[in-house]
Amino acid sequence: GAVVSQHPSRVICKSGTSVKIECRSLDFQATTMFWYRQFPKKSLMLMATSNEGSKATYEQGVEKDKFLINHASLTLSTLTVTSAHPEDSSFYICSASTGYTEAFFGQGTRLTVV
Amino acid sequence: GENVEQHPSTLSVQEGDSAVIKCTYSDSASNYFPWYKQELGKRPQLIIDIRSNVGEKKDQRIAVTLNKTAKHFSLHITETQPEDSAVYFCAATKGGGTSYGKLTFGQGTILTVHP
């Protein structure tokens, strides 16, 4: 199957700083990628749809100025958590679909804001 | 938007028994229904999926059924093994092309298989 790689897998940052998470499709081109957030023992919630070469589409209730998404190439989307606070601590996962197939998930990033 | 309800939230079975997890969805336009298994701290892994033009699909010990009229679908695991213990999520999307990745997930079911 297709491979989606996400980095870093874990990051700890200080409150007020920004953190960038990368999501790469290694063996296919992904014009669209998706970013999810998962709280402990909870389900995955779609945050935004990342579109190559255009602005991301955010789900209702997601702060676009807090969670900056850039999809500069067909294989890379980045999520930047700006001015992070402890409540931003979570598991962030990206995914991409090759087209008429399943979605492939990255490994996820465990963000801890202290 | 789409809403997916999943039951039960926890399920405990003995090794060798069957396990059934049920989901309902709200958007009749949804046409793709995957099931994922997630172990702690890991990415969700697709275990089986079904499209709206099919009523049932089976892969060894795992099967999924879909009732479009009632808007519900179910995961069936037979001959459960301890390694089946994990969190299972159903999902739905009215996908087309890359939109198959835009998923609405159920709340998850913690499955525990006792040896």
pLDDT digits (tens, 9 = 90+) for B37-74: 999 989 999 999 999 888 999 999 999 999 999 999 99
pLDDT of A45 reads 96
A25 reaches B (C-beta below 8 A): no
The encoded tokens of residue B42 equal 């890991």
Task: Output A107 or A72, whichever has higher pLDDT.
Answer: A107
Angle at B47 between CA B45 and CA B53, to 5 degrees: 125
Instruction: Residue A42: list chain B partners with CB under 8 A.
Output: 107-108
Has residue A69 got a pLDDT over 90?
Answer: yes
Has residue A35 got a pLDDT over 80?
Answer: yes
Q: How far is B106 from chain A (nearest CA, A)?
A: 7
The mean pLDDT value of chain B amounts to 94
| CB interface of A with B, residues 67-106, below 8 Å | 91, 93, 95-103, 105-106
pLDDT of B61 reads 97
The encoded tokens of residue B81 equal 């093994």
Nearest to A103 among B42, B89, B101 (CB): B101
Task: Report the percent of chain B where pLDDT is more than 90.
Answer: 86
B102 reaches A (C-beta below 8 A): yes
Q: Which residues contact B14 (CB under 8 A, 6 or more apart)?
A: B80, B113, B114
Question: Measured between alpha carbons, how far is B71 from B50 in angstroms, rounded to an integer?
Answer: 13
